[in-house]
């Protein structure tokens, strides 16, 4: 079955459902499938947790597009999160302390979302931010405390966090799955879940005081990758109007082809002792954990082609985008900033070949201290240049604006200063959730959090992060080699020094040429 409606029908449905919803949001809220009763915070924000947007993907629904959720009678309590989607639960894993990790249970019965709203009535038409969590497509959840939507809701946004299928349950590919599909595709089930959640938002968010014509999708890491695929997918057309991709915009990002992934699916099934899909669907979820990792693929339906190719053709869902990265994306590595001089030089030879000497001139490694600093700086510059080149390519076919940033403030952490501005460390600031982490916050952190979250809220409202009292954030323009620094300083800064920008630009161009020569 199709999991989407044409955009005009979605808007008509949203209008029809929303036109009768002028009752107070602080009472019982009626959505398409029944009535919901949430809870209220001390600040008066209404919270609705564990709302099903699709049927549990179990039994015969495993490895199929999401199906409509069942209706319910009476008033459903929406006062606790659903299970997170099936995954191995780590609880913590430095630098990601418990505030960044799943803390509840996991199961396949997980396709639910959560809503935070400060609207007093259902006709306020507040902008909506739909958060897609990270976790490498094999872990994560909408229940993680760092993603708590109260503070953003207090600033005027209706916040939605979602769960979507992960790992083998969300991205498994197999020739038999492709054959049974009316769309001749397999995999990408977790991304189809994101589409279903956005359809739910279009049809129901007006009941919470949200505006279905001002929906921003936002995600970090794997969530950012999901955001990029949604901007490229014809199935998501008309479902959102702005996009935020945190730690996830790279000129080098490519999506795997379905046929290659299908063969991995055949081999994986053999390791589970299954000879048919029926047998695999009958197995308990716990028996399917482990083994090959699967992720997004070019399946010919959700993704007709690689995201970069769709943008190059000008066939993307052209919406304003806000994107950036942290200064120390790779600091979870045990060798980050500690690499030996000889190892750094060896890696340079392996990566850059004939250009290794030019690289080492820019990033010298005469001793371990110097090589550690060069390792950090080269990684930062490479990430910044990659994002800059991504934005340059995007600008060739996009009519809408993009805004890029570089997040340089590390969460105060006296016990572990080595992690600095680590991957995901920007999210407590953007969600204005410093209160949920027991750290020695300083005035600069509170100022930065207020600014970062305000930029998000302004972008969700208008497609432009700028607003009263905030340092001006210029939109990206091809040829202007700057980005917005968010840290102890909040101001535009160069992408990289001229010679380093030129080096990595040539490096990425060589990679692209080599990819185009592969048959």
3-state secondary structure 400-448: CCEEEEEECCCCCCCCCHHHCCECCCCHHHHCCCHHHCCCCCCHHHHHH
* pLDDT of amino acid 137: 98
Long-range contacts (CB closer than 8 Å, 24 or more residues apart) made by 275-283: 276/176, 277/63, 277/174, 277/176, 277/177, 277/180, 280/62, 280/63, 281/59, 281/60, 281/62, 281/63
* pLDDT of amino acid 514: 73
* pLDDT of amino acid 3: 52
- Strand order, beta sheet including 210-220: 39-40, 46-52, 112-117, 158-162, 126-132, 210-220, 242-246, 321-326, 402-407, 482-486, 490-494
Q: Which helix (H) or strand (E) holds 361?
A: helix 356-362
In the chain, which residues have pLDDT < 70? Answer: 1-26, 516-519
- Strand order, beta sheet including 75-77: 29-31, 34-37, 75-77
* pLDDT of amino acid 513: 79
Full set of structural domains in the chain with CATH: 7-248+271-319 (3.40.50.1820), 328-517 (3.40.50.1820)
- pLDDT, tens only, 186-196: 999 999 999 99
Catalytic residue list? 221, 329, 423
| Radius of gyration for the alpha carbons in the chain, expressed in angstroms and rounded | 23
* pLDDT of amino acid 179: 97
Q: Which helix (H) or strand (E) holds 219?
A: strand 210-220
Greatest pairwise CA separation for the chain in angstroms: 72
């Amino acid at each position: 079955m199709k999991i989407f409606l044409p955009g005009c029908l979605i808007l008509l449905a949203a209008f029809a459902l929303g036109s009768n919803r002028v009752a107070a949001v602080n009472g019982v809220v009626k959505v398409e499938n029944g009535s919901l009763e949430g809870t209220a915070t001390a600040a008066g924000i209404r919270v609705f947790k564990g709302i099903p947007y699709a049927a549990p993907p179990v039994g015969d629904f495993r490895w199929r597009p999401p199906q409509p959720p069942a209706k319910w009678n009476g008033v459903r309590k929406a006062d606790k999160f659903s299970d997170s989607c099936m995954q191995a639960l780590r609880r913590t894993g430095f630098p990601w302390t418990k505030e960044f990790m799943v803390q509840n249970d996991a199961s396949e019965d997980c396709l639910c979302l959560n809503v935070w709203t400060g609207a007093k009535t259902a006709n306020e038409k507040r902008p909506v931010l739909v958060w897609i969590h990270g976790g490498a497509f094999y872990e994560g959840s909408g229940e993680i405390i760092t993603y708590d939507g109260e503070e953003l809701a207090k600033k005027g946004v209706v916040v939605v966090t979602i769960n979507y299928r992960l790992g083998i349950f969300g991205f498994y590919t197999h020739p038999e799955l492709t054959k049974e599909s009316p769309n001749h595709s397999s995999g990408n089930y977790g991304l189809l879940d994101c589409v279903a959640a956005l359809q739910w938002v279009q049809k129901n968010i007006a009941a919470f005081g949200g505006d279905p014509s001002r929906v921003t999708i936002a995600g970090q890491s794997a969530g950012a990758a999901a955001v990029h695929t949604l901007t490229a997918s014809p199935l998501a057309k008309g479902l959102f109007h702005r996009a935020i991709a945190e730690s996830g915009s790279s000129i080098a990002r490519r999506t795997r082809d379905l046929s290659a992934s299908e063969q991995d699916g055949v081999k994986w099934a053999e390791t589970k002792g299954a000879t048919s899909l029926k047998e695999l669907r009958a197995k308990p979820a716990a028996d399917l954990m482990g083994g090959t990792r699967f992720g997004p693929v070019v399946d010919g339906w959700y993704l007709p082609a690689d995201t970069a190719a769709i943008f190059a053709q000008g066939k993307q869902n052209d919406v304003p985008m806000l994107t950036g990265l942290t200064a120390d994306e790779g600091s979870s590595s045990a060798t980050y900033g500690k690499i030996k001089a000889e190892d750094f030089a060896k890696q340079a030879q392996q990566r850059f070949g004939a250009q290794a000497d030019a690289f080492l001139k820019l990033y010298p490694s005469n001793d371990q201290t110097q090589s550690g600093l060069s390792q950090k700086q080269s990684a930062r510059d490479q990430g910044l240049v990659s994002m800059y080149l991504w934005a340059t390519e995007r600008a060739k076919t996009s009519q809408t604006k993009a805004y890029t940033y570089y997040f340089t403030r590390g969460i105060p952490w006296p016990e572990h200063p080595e992690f600095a501005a680590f991957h995901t460390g920007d999210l407590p600031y953007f969600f204005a959730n410093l209160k949920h982490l027991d750290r020695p916050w300083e005035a600069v952190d509170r100022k930065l959090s207020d600014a970062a979250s305000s930029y998000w809220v302004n972008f969700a409202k208008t497609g432009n992060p700028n607003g009263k009292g905030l340092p001006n954030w210029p939109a990206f323009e091809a040829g202007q080699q700057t980005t917005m620094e968010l840290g102890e300083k909040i101001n535009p800064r160069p992408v990289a020094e001229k010679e380093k920008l030129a080096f990595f630009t040539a490096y990425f161009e060589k990679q692209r040429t080599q990819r185009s020569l592969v048959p």
